[in-house]
Chain A
Amino acid sequence: MPREGVIPERRLRQSIDWALVGTYLLLVFIGWVSIYASIHSTNPPSIFSWTARSGKQFVWMLTAFGLAGLILYVIPPKLWEAFPIPLYAIVLGLLVLVIFVSKDVKGSHSWFELGPVKFQPAELSKITTSLLLAFFLSRQGIKLTRLKDFVLAALIIAVPMLVIVGESETGSALVYAGFIFVLYREGLSGWWLGLIGLVIVLFISTLVLGSYWAIVLLLGVLVLCNAFFGDFWRRLALGGGFVVLMALLPSAWEWVCNAVQAHMDWISAVTWVPEPGETQHYYWSFLLKIKPVYILLALSFMALPFLGVYVYRKRDAFLGITLLVFLAGVLLVFSADYIFQDVLQPHQRGRIEVLLGLKEDLSGVGYNVNQSKIAIGSGGLFGKGFLQGTQTTFGFVPEQSTDFIFCTVGEEWGFVGCLIVILLYVFLIVRIILDAESCRGKFTRIYGYCVAACIFMHLFINVGMTVGLMPVIGIPLPFLSYGGSSLWAFTVLLFIFLALYRDEKKYF
C-alpha cells in the first residue's frame, strides 16, 4: 500500500512531461538528419556509418539518451538541490584549468581532449551555474531588489562568464547574459532590462549612425520615459520639441554652411571693409568648423544645471536618474568608438562591422555569413528537398554541421522547415516556462527558467548569426548541432529539469 501523498509508480511515469521529451527527440532527430545531409559527398555513406559525422552523432545520441534515462530514473533529483556549490566549484576549477592545459583551437582555449573524446567545460558550466543560481535565489529571504542579494546573484553569473571570456570563448560567455531574464522573473526591476537594451541600442547606433544621432536617440528615449512618469503632455512637448529641433539641426546647419560658402565673397564684402593695404580674408569661415554635435552638447549641458536645480527642488528622483543616465549615455557614445577599436579583438570587430553593414567583405570575415545566407536564401518556400542542397552538400558553408547546421534546414526544407524548427524551439521554451510556473518549489521554477534562458540565447544567437541578424558567434544550436559535448550538455540541462519537475508533481 502506497504511502499517503505519494502517487503510485504508474502515475509517476506519467508525470514526466512527455510533450517536452517528444519535442526534444524531434529536434535531435532533425539535427541528425541535417548532419547527414550536410556531409560533403555525392555518394554519401549510410547514415549510421561511423566514418561520417552522422554515424558519430548517432552514437552521441544513444549515449545522450542513456544520460537522460540515468537522470530520470537513477539519480535522485534531490541530489541536484543538495550539492550545487561543490558542483559549481568543480566546474569553475575545470574552466580555469582548461585555459592552461588545452590546445589552441582557432584562438580559443576551451576544449579538454581525452583521446578521441573532446568536451568543453563551458557547456557543463551552464548547468552548474543554473543549479547554483536556483539554489541561491530559492533560499528564504533573498530579495533581488536588495543590493547585496543582487550583487551575489550577479557574481554567480559573472564569475564563470568572465573565466570563459578568458578562454577566448566570448560567444559562449554571451549566453550567460540570458540569465538576466531569470533575475527579471525573480523580481529584478524591469528598468535593468531597459537599461541593458538602451546600452546595446546606443552602441549599435553610434557605430552605424554616428555619435550625433546616437545622442539624439538617447535624448528621445529619456524624454519619452520621463513623460510617462510625470506631467505627460508638458514634458513631451518640452523635451520632444527639443529632440525634434535637434533632429532637424544637421540638415539646417548644412544649409547654412553651404549658403555661407556660396556667398563668402559677398558676406565678407558687406560685413567687413578692409583697411588700405589689407587683403580681404574670410573670417566667417569659422562657421564651417562648427559641427552640429557641438551645438547639441552645448545646449544640453547648458540645460543641465537648471534641470539639476529643478530635481533638487521638486525631489523628482526619476528625472534625476534620467540626467545621470543621460550623462552616462553620452560617455558611452563617445567611448563606443574606443571600445570598438581598442577593446574588441580584430575578428570580433570585423564580424560586427559586417553585421552592421559598415563593411562588405565577402571573401574574408563576411564569407561565412554570406555563404550561410546564400544557402538559406536559396531554399525558397519549400526548400530543395532532402540531400538536394547544392550549397550544403558541396561544402560552401563552413562549419556546416556544427554552428551552421541551420543552413541545411533552410536550404533543403525552405521557409516551411525553418518555421517548423523555430516553432518547435518556441514550444519547448514556452512549455518549460509553463511547467516551471506550475511548480510550488522555487528551486525547480528558477532552474526551469535558467534552462529556458540558455536555450533561448543559443537559439537566437545561432539562428540570428546564420541569417545575418547577429554577428558571427560560434555557439551551437541546441540538440541540432553536431557534437557530443554540446548534445550531452543540453540533454543533461533539460533532463535535470524534467527530473526535478516530476519530483515536484510526486506530492500532488
Chain B
Amino acid sequence: MSSDGRHIRLFIGLGIAALLLLGKIFSIQILQNRYKEDAERNSTIYETIYPTRGVIYDRNGRILVGNKVAYDILVSPREVQAFDTVALATVLGVEPSFIRARLQEYNRRRASIGFQSVTMLRTVPAETYMRFDEVKYRFPGFKGQVRGIRDYPVNAGGNLLGYVSEVNQAYIDSHPGEYRSGDYAGMTGIEAAREVDLRGEKGYHIYLRNSRNQIEQPYKDGAEDKEAIPGHDIVTTIDAELQQYGQELMRNKVGSIVAIEPSTGEILALVSSPGIDVEQLADIGKHYNEIVSNPYKPMYNRAVQASYPPGSVFKLVNGLIGLQEGVLQPSYTYPCSQGYHFGSGHKLGCHAHKSPINMEESIMMSCNAYYCYVLKNILDNKKYANVAEALDAWHEYVESFGFGRKLGSDFPAELAGSIPTSKTYNKAYGRGRWNSTTVISLSIGQGEILATPMHLANLCATIANRGHYYIPHIVKASEGVEIDSRFTERQYTKVDTVHFTKLIRGMWRAVNSGAGMGGTAWVAHIDSLDVCGKTGTAQNPRGADNSVFICFAPMDNPKIAIAAYVENGGFGATYAAPIASLMVEKYLKGTVKRQSLEEQMKSRDLMSRVKTD
C-alpha cells in the first residue's frame, strides 16, 4: 500500500515537534536570563569574612574594649555518623546526656536546619577547644569555629561602652543593605554611637559548591574575592582609672557621676550606678534577662537618662541671672529666719545659719531665703510687663546654660530635662492667676525643674570656664575618626564673665572655709587644691532626699568639673560632696590620701533606701 503522502504529513509533524523542542530550548538558553542567574546562585557560595572590630581606647591609650577569640563547637546534624557519645562528652567536658538531648533537638528541627551547621556549645575554653581539635576526626559532623568577641581589660564604663550583639530582623530592616542575619552590631553606648567607625567592612570569599552545599573549589581561583577592612579604632575622652574609681565609689548606691574637662568639654568619667559589669557585656546574650529583670535597672544610664530636680545647686544659676539682670549685687544682704516667709503664713524653710548674709555667704551656706529674694527680684523686675514675661526671660537665661534641652553630646539617648516657661504655669493655674511666690521653689532648684547629672556637670564646667562651655562628648578625634565641629565651638551663656568670678568666691568658701564656719562643703576640701563647689539637697518624693554636689578644681585654670548625684543620699555633703571630692583628688593628685573617707564611701550601702516599685 502506498502511503498517500502520509509519511510526508508525519515528517511535517516531526518537524513541528522538533521545532517545539528547539524553540523552548532557545527560549530558556538564549532569550531568558534567569536560568543563568539561578545557576550562579545555585553553585556559588559567599563566605563572609568578618573584619576585626575597632578597639576602644581611653584618653591615655589604655584599651577599654579589645577583641579576643571565642571557641564554639558546631555540628552539622546531617553529617553526623555513629560516634562515641561518652568520649565526645569527656573531651568537651559536658554530660553525655547533654549531647544526646541536643542531637535529639536538632533531629526535631532537621527540616529547618537542612545541611547547615548549628552551634552546640558557645565559648568553650581554649584548652577544651584544642583537645577537641585533635580528636575531631573521630566525630564526623562536629567542628570547631573561632569567632571574634569583645574583650574588656578594665572594668570601666559598662553602660558607657555598650554591648555588641547579633542583629535582629528589626535592626536589619532599619539599616537597609548594611546588615545580614548573623552579623553583629553595637546596640548601646559607644558601640552603638560609633558603630559605623567600629564595624569596618565585610569581605567575602566566593566558592563553588555542590548540591549538598559542600564547598568544591574557590570561584575563579579567588579573583573575585574581597578582603575585609578592619574597623577604625576609637579613642574616647574617658580616663579609665577615674571611671573605675567612680564606679567603686558608687558601688551599692543609686546615682551617677559625670566628670568633664572644662577646657574641652571632654567627658572624663560617666558613672551610672548600678551599672553593667563588663563581664556581662562580653556575653550579653546570657546575661540579658538577668540585667533587664534587675529592679535597679542597670541598663538605664542615669547620667544622661535620669531627670532629677537639681536642688540648691541651681541657686548658682539664679544668682548669675540676678547679677546679669542687675537686680542682685554681691553686697546685697537678706535676712533668713529659718526660711523665707511669704503670703499669709507660708514659709520656705532653711537651716540654721547666721543672718543677714551677703551673696558669697549665701552660696557658701546655701541659704534658701536669699534666693527666694533673688528670684522674686528677677520675676518682679519692672523691666518686664508682667511676671510671665519675666519668667520667659529667666527661661532664656537658664536654657543658655544647656538646661531644658538636649546638650547634643555624642552619647545616644540623652534626655532634655525640663525648665518651665510661662506656658507651664498658665496651663496649671490659668493666665494671670500666678505670681512670683507661686513659683518660688524654682529659686532653690525644686518644683518644675528637671535636669540630668550631665546638665549639672555641664553647669559646673560652664562656671569653671566663667561663662562658656563645650558640648560634653566622649569620643576624641583620631586617625580616621572625625568628630562633629560642634564639639570644638564655645557655647556662650547669656551671663557675662565678670559675674562668674563673684560667684566662684562663694563656691570656694563653701569648700575652703574650714569646719565650723558654716561652709556646706568643707568635707570636699583637698589640701593645696582650690576646690570650688556647691552642695544640693534635692527633695525626693520617694523617700530620703537626693544628695547633690558639683565642684571644679583648681579654682584658677580648672582641670576637672564634676557633678555627683546620689539618690536618697540625704544632704549634699553626706555622699555627693565626698564622692566628687575623692574623684577630683584621684584625677588631679593620682593617689587618694583620705583613705578613711574613701573606705567609708566605698563601703556604704544605700540600696535598701531606694524604692524600686
Contacts and interface: CB of A to CB of B under 8 A. Distances in A.
Contact of A380 (B13, B15, B30, B34): B30
A185 interface: yes
A375 B216 contact: no
A437 B5 CA distance: 11
B10 A415 contact: no
Given A40-B210, A181-B10, A415 B38 contact: no
B18 interface: yes
Contacts of A378: 35-36, 38-40
A390 interface: yes
B69 interface: no
B21 A467 contact: yes
Interface in B187-217: 208-212, 216-217
Interface stretch (A14-22, A83-91, A205-213, A456-464): A456-464
Nearest to A468: B24
Interface stretch (A1-9, A336-344, A418-426): A418-426
Contact of B18 (A371, A414, A422, A433): A422
B26 interface: yes
A373 B38 CA distance: 10
Which of A377, A381, A395, A469: most chain B Cβ within 10 A?
A377
B29 A396 contact: no
A444 interface: no
B494 to A, nearest CB: 68
B483 interface: no
B17 interface: yes
Given A381-B29, A396-B211, A415-B26, A433 B7 contact: yes
B17 to A, nearest CB: 5
A471 interface: no
A441 to B, nearest CB: 12
A396 B43 contact: yes
A414 B29 contact: yes
A42 interface: yes
A433 B11 contact: yes
Nearest to A384: B39
Which of B9, B22, B28, B208: most chain A Cβ within 10 A?
B28
B10 A185 contact: yes
A391 interface: yes
A200 to B, nearest CB: 14
Contacts of A468: 24, 28
Nearest to A467: B24
Contacts of B42: 371, 374, 390-391, 396
Nearest to B208: A390
Nearest to B1: A187
A42 B1 contact: no
Contacts of A185: 3, 6-7, 10
B25 interface: yes
B612 interface: no
B485 interface: no
Nearest to B214: A394
Contacts of B11: 430, 433
B110 to A, nearest CB: 15
A42 to B, nearest CB: 5
A379 B29 contact: yes
B556 to A, nearest CB: 76
Contacts of A415: 25-26, 29-30
Contact of A395 (B1, B18, B212): B212
B126 interface: no
A376 interface: yes
Nearest to A442: B1
A134 B212 CA distance: 49
A258 to B, nearest CB: 37
B588 interface: no
Interface in A162-187: 181, 184-187
Contacts of B217: 42
Given A187-B1, A376-B28, A377-B29, A464 B21 contact: yes
Contacts of B29: 376-377, 379-381, 410, 414-415, 418
Nearest to B36: A378
B20 interface: yes
Given A377-B35, A390-B39, A394-B43, A184 B22 contact: no
B32 interface: yes
B135 interface: no
Contacts of B26: 415
B22 A419 contact: yes
Contact of A374 (B7, B14, B39): B39
A381 B15 CA distance: 22
Given A185-B3, A433-B10, A437-B7, A422 B211 contact: no
A354 interface: no
A358 B3 CA distance: 41
Which of B39, B43, B212: most chain A Cβ within 10 A?
B39
Nearest to B44: A390
Interface in A372-423: 373-381, 390-391, 394-396, 410, 414-415, 418-419, 422-423
A395 B24 contact: no
Nearest to A181: B10
A429 interface: yes
Interface in B43-78: 43
Nearest to A463: B21
Contacts of A437: 3, 7
Interface in A455-482: 456, 460, 463-464, 467-469
A368 to B, nearest CB: 12
A456 B39 CA distance: 30
Given A377-B36, A394-B210, A467-B25, A460 B17 contact: yes
Interface string B240-269: 000000000000000000000000000000
Contact of A429 (B3, B14, B36, B216): B14
A463 B30 CA distance: 17
Contacts of A418: 22, 25, 29
A396 to B, nearest CB: 4
Given A378-B39, A396-B211, 19 more contacts: A184-B10, A190-B9, A373-B28, A377-B34, A378-B35, A380-B29, A390-B39, A390-B43, A394-B209, A394-B210, A394-B216, A395-B212, A415-B25, A422-B21, A423-B18, A463-B25, A469-B20, A469-B21, A469-B24
19 contacts: A42-B216, A181-B13, A185-B7, A187-B1, A376-B28, A377-B34, A377-B36, A378-B38, A378-B39, A381-B30, A390-B43, A391-B42, A395-B212, A410-B25, A415-B26, A415-B29, A456-B17, A460-B21, A469-B20
Interface of A: 40, 42, 181, 184-187, 190, 370-371, 373-381, 390-391, 394-396, 410, 414-415, 418-419, 422-423, 425-426, 429-430, 433-434, 437, 442, 456, 460, 463-464, 467-469
